[in-house]
Structure 1
Amino acid sequence: MKTINYAIVLLGIFILSACGTKSKQQASNAELQKPNVLFIAVDDLNTWLGCMSGYSNSKTPNMDRIASKGVLFNNAHCQAPLCGPSRASIMSGLRPSTTGIYGMIPDGKIRREDKPETKDIVFLSEYFRNNGYHTMGIGKLFHIHAPDGVFDESGGRVKGFGPLPEKRFVWDGRGNSDRKKYGRTSTDWGAFPEVDSLMPDHESANWAIARIYREYDKPFFLGVGFLRPHVPLYVPQKWFDMHPLEGIQVAPYKSDDLDDVPPVALKINDLPMMPSTEWAKETGEWKKIIQAYLACVSFVDYEVGRVLDALEKSGKADNTVIVLWSDHGYRLGEKGTFAKHALWEPATKAPLMFAAPNLPKGKVIDTPAEMLSIYPTLIELCGLPAYDRNEGRSLVSAMMNRGEDDKAFAVCTFGMNNHGVKANGFRYIQYEDGGQELYDHKTDPNEWENLASNPDYKNKIEEMKQFLPTKNVIWDSHSSYTFQPYFVDQKQRTNGADGIPVHVIGAAH
């Protein structure tokens, strides 16, 4: 009898062990069934893409390919028209007005113990790691690259925005600005170097491609941050050859455009270190700057294509969510200059597109969207639990035709209490001193006629104000923008003596 009982016990142990192994295998299989994420950031990319406007005969077949395989948000806007605060917002899921990160900030200072707004925040890639993903990142994802430990694997980033020729173009980085008051820009353009392999973005693509071909025992999150078309606008000559000067169409421009904007808008737009549109017209450089920008866009599109090709050849494309975004737009002569740095349409509007299993293909959504929505959208697409700290709304319902488009809006913030709202075919801007701008995009897509003082639009202004953030914290002590005197002054005024800006390397970018 004892022998029989012992055999029964052994059989039970075997069955339980087999069930446990099977359960573990099922859990592992469930993890692998979650889609991978390819997270592509393109720096300073405006909407001059083939799949958007095709302006000036832009050539972007690979970004167009993503749009054709998924959903393009044709009216997406950044949360700040400046790299540092925009990327901090995307990666944290919080608005600049919530964190006080209105200017540049070191990656490692976004989240810290003395900052209640962010001290417990989980960055986007960390959320995926916490939910069973292997996370990897290379290039410019946050402002520089990423805080330490945010990725399981980090490829880092090549410092700066080179390579640079020994002898550069005529723009000295300051123009006619007061060198004691203004920062320096690296706005410059021309054909350099000779081959793509000397560009940091090419190396970033190589790094990403190598990781796509690997096999993993869990889903992966791969972030690839490309530098171009951020200035200086240097890429090899072959990319310039794709955009002959005679085919270049300049941006919409009106010399007296800013005559009806509030004084504070002029202060923010006071950027003498950047090439002005009038200077570009007088010197014949306007088309050359646009040519250089388009050349950089075509180059980075090619690098995006190399990564996409690897994804398809690896067999992983059918189980991968792709998102491509930019941190803000870029003005190419609109509103008098060549820069981002504004709450107007060409500075805030940027590409945003998703491709994923079960998403519609070739769909274009024209209602406003926010880059802040990237975080909650990705986690919903991947079947992960919602993160209650996200201030953006997931865009999955809009992409899947579940409605909500009538509630769509986008808010962009530039400094404390300066906000731009895009909703219902209008743009409304309210500045810290109460100054206002209102534009009707149905009749004035270039934002040339400020309707804010027109009594017929009083109700529309009140309607647009409903979207303004109710929380506007003071400047973060580690965030500053020394590139522009208005923001230096605003931080000192709003924060007091303790708010004197901390110098941030690369503040002009």
Structure 2
Amino acid sequence: MNNRICLLAMLMLVGVSGLCMPRANAEAARPNILFIFADDMSYETIGAAGILDIDTPNLDQLAKSGTSFTHAYNMGAWGGAVCTASRSMLNTGRFVWNAQASVQPHVSQNRMWSQRMQSAGYQTYFSGKWHVPGANPDGLFHVVKNVRAGMPQQTPQGYNRPRSPEDYATGWKPWDQKYGGFWEGGKHWSEVVADDGVEYLDTATKDEQPFFMYLAFNAAHDPRQSPKEYIDRYPLERIKLPENFLPQYPYADKICGLGLRDEKLMPYPRTEYAVKVNRQEYFALITHMDDQIGRILDALKASGKADNTYIVFTADHGLAVGRHGLSGKQNMYDHSVRVPFLVVGPGVKAGAQIDVPIYLQDVMATSLNLADASTDGVEFKSLLPLLRGESDEHYETIYGAYMNRQRMITKGDWKFLSYPTANVERLFNLKKDPLEMNDLAGNPEYASILADMRTALTALSKEMDDPLLETDAKENNNKKKSKKSSAS
């Protein structure tokens, strides 16, 4: 009898342990998330992309170790600070016209990205550029270090330059710390983010709780400052003038404004010299950031957590830096709306490319899925079906907007641009014309495609609750009232 009782007790103990084990294993198996975010970085500025002559060995290694999404887009912005809209969408999971209201504290309570990760049991960490209005990272992450509210301070000397080699010789220099900017505080801001990331990862070795790290560089935003050794790596003879260079974009005054801050960084008309110098400084700042990312990745490896960590690298939007005669990101060309997007982690195919169009903000839904966290109210989609080879479809069309001045849709091989304030339409075949140099909107041969794209944009705009449709409706009603009044 005693033996039977002992056996029964043992079976019960095993049964209880067995019930607990799957939960404990699930807890241990939950992956860490390391999100590395750049600012103002176009899709073409990673060496592994094979488009530009630029040194990014650590990002190249990420691309080799994981999967690259070649067509990752930002949806647009409601104002000149495109990064504000991009980061608001990123942290709320809401599409562009819903995100502005969603970031307000009374709306976003317990629904922001970091809060959802916390609810799933994650230790959350933040360092770097935030720039989400109506929200404070101090109340959204467990650990917060060195928050940068927006861009590094630009100085008057950093605009309208360089006008000539002589002007450059006596003017603003990227490595001169007296201008502040990235040098404010005594250490380059990219190095500060790396320091913070390394410090946190050093402590992660002692903690079994999964982590969500959000490391946001200000690079490669202007003022494009880096140590002189990085500038020296890009002599001007190494810098190629973009094929789609223009002295001035013909519709710049209508679609963004010649006085827009970003557009005032280089002199008008754009010159080959000014564009090459600005691109030199752009590439140097990216290479400097790449070295800092290498330090973070080394610390992750040393922590022993790398095998159970998903790494995502992307940026909030791209940048023109001389393409199409533009300087900034307030346009719908691929150089400004497309970004690099790299994923490395357990089960992610190494050295792979996925050409299916995505939005960069899909990273939020993807990480929530990995964490088994709530995606209630999130409008962007998880990338896991694409990464796992379970699907080759994602978004049928990609939408883009800038204030009330620009609208975009890409569908298949085609991109359609509408400039309402300029009464201009543009049509490009992205497969044949990836640099968007051959506008087909005025070619009668493509009239049916133009009409189809126009119709598709209107339909997608309705899905997005585009405020421009409401404005157009009011204007049409006013015109009808005016005609009736004249007739009477």
Q: 2:144 aligns with which of 144, 147, 154?
A: 154
Tell whether 2:211 aligns with 1:216. Answer: no
* Aligned partners of 1:100 and 1:474 also within 8 Å: no
Shift of 1:163: 7.9
Tell whether 2:375 aligns with 1:387. Answer: yes
* Aligned partners of 1:229 and 1:293 also within 8 Å: yes
Q: 1:146 to 1:224 in 2, by over 3 A?
A: farther
* Aligned partners of 1:139 and 1:226 also within 8 Å: yes
Q: 1:121 to 1:158 in 2, by over 3 A?
A: closer
Note the alpha carbon deviations across 1:162-186, whole angstroms, 9 max, x for none: 588xx9746379x9xxxxxxxxxxx
Note the alpha carbon deviations across 1:94-133, whole angstroms, 9 max, x for none: 11123456xxxxxxx82333xxxx4467122222111111
Note the alpha carbon deviations across 1:466-503, whole angstroms, 9 max, x for none: 3623145587xxxxxxxxxxx9xx9xx99xxxxxxxxx
CA distance in 1, matches of 2:196, 2:392: 39
Q: 2:50 aligns with which of 50, 53, 62?
A: 53
Q: 1:172 to 1:441 in 2, by over 3 A?
A: closer
CA distance in 2, matches of 1:231, 1:473: 32
Tell whether 2:461 aligns with 1:469. Answer: yes
Note the alpha carbon deviations across 1:6-37, whole angstroms, 9 max, x for none: xx8x9999997886677556524321211100
CA distance in 2, matches of 1:462, 1:396: 34
Q: 2:308 aligns with which of 319, 322, 325?
A: 319
- Aligned partner of 2:97 in structure 1 is 97
- Aligned partner of 1:86 in structure 2 is 86
SS at match of 2:364: helix
CA distance in 1, matches of 2:70, 2:172: 29
- Aligned partner of 1:347 in structure 2 is 336
- Aligned partner of 1:269 in structure 2 is 256
CA distance in 1, matches of 2:339, 2:191: 23
Residue type matched to 2:436 in 1?
Answer: E
Shift of 1:394: 2.0
Tell whether 2:55 aligns with 1:64. Answer: no
Q: 2:449 aligns with which of 460, 463, 481?
A: 460
Shift of 1:419: 2.4
Note the alpha carbon deviations across 1:288-336, whole angstroms, 9 max, x for none: 1111111100011111111011111111111000101100000110121
Tell whether 2:125 aligns with 1:136. Answer: yes
TM-score by length of 1: 0.76
Q: Which segment is superposed worse, 272-281 or 331-340?
A: 272-281
TM-score by length of 2: 0.79
Tell whether 2:223 aligns with 1:227. Answer: no
SS at match of 2:377: coil
Report matched runs for 1:275-290 at 5 Å.
275-276=265-266, 278-281=268-271, 284-290=273-279
Tell whether 2:29 aligns with 1:37. Answer: no
Q: 2:362 aligns with which of 373, 376, 386?
A: 373
Shift of 1:156: 3.8
CA distance in 1, matches of 2:9, 2:245: 82
Residue type matched to 1:235 in 2?
Answer: S
Q: 1:307 to 1:257 in 2, by over 3 A?
A: same
Report matched runs for 1:98-497 at 5 Å.
98-100=98-100, 110-113=103-106, 118-119=107-108, 122-143=111-132, 146-158=136-148, 161-162=151-152, 169=157, 171=159, 190-193=174-177, 198-213=187-202, 214=204, 215-255=206-246, 258-259=249-250, 266-272=253-259, 273=261, 274-276=264-266, 278-281=268-271, 284-380=273-369, 382=370, 384=372, 387-405=375-393, 408-416=396-404, 418-432=406-420, 435-464=424-453, 465-466=455-456, 468-471=460-463
Note the alpha carbon deviations across 1:239-286, whole angstroms, 9 max, x for none: 112212221112223548744x6xxx642232334134654417x332
CA distance in 2, matches of 1:54, 1:244: 18
Residue type matched to 1:77 in 2?
Answer: Y
Percent of matched pairs sharing the same residue: 24
* Aligned partners of 1:73 and 1:352 also within 8 Å: yes
Q: 1:408 to 1:68 in 2, by over 3 A?
A: farther
CA distance in 2, matches of 1:128, 1:368: 26
Note the alpha carbon deviations across 1:175-213, whole angstroms, 9 max, x for none: 9xxxxxxxxxxx975223499971122122111112112
CA distance in 1, matches of 2:403, 2:123: 36
CA distance in 1, matches of 2:448, 2:328: 33
SS at match of 2:427: strand
Q: 1:474 to 1:50 in 2, by over 3 A?
A: closer
Q: Which segment is superposed worse, 397-406 or 368-377?
A: 397-406
Q: Which segment is superposed worse, 363-372 or 431-440?
A: 431-440
Residue type matched to 1:157 in 2?
Answer: V
SS at match of 2:311: strand
Q: Which segment is superposed worse, 223-232 or 462-471?
A: 462-471
CA distance in 2, matches of 1:376, 1:462: 34
CA distance in 2, matches of 1:242, 1:334: 22
Q: 1:231 to 1:88 in 2, by over 3 A?
A: same
SS at match of 1:85: helix
**Residues matched between the structures, number:** 442
CA distance in 2, matches of 1:327, 1:290: 19
Residue type matched to 2:55 in 1?
Answer: K
Q: CA RMSD in A?
A: 3.6
* Aligned partners of 2:41 and 2:318 also within 8 Å: yes
* Aligned partners of 2:230 and 2:288 also within 8 Å: yes
Which consecutive unaligned segments of at least 5 residues does structure 2 have?
164-170, 476-488
Shift of 1:405: 3.8
CA distance in 2, matches of 1:408, 1:304: 33
Which consecutive unaligned segments of at least 5 residues does structure 1 have?
102-108, 176-186, 476-486, 495-509
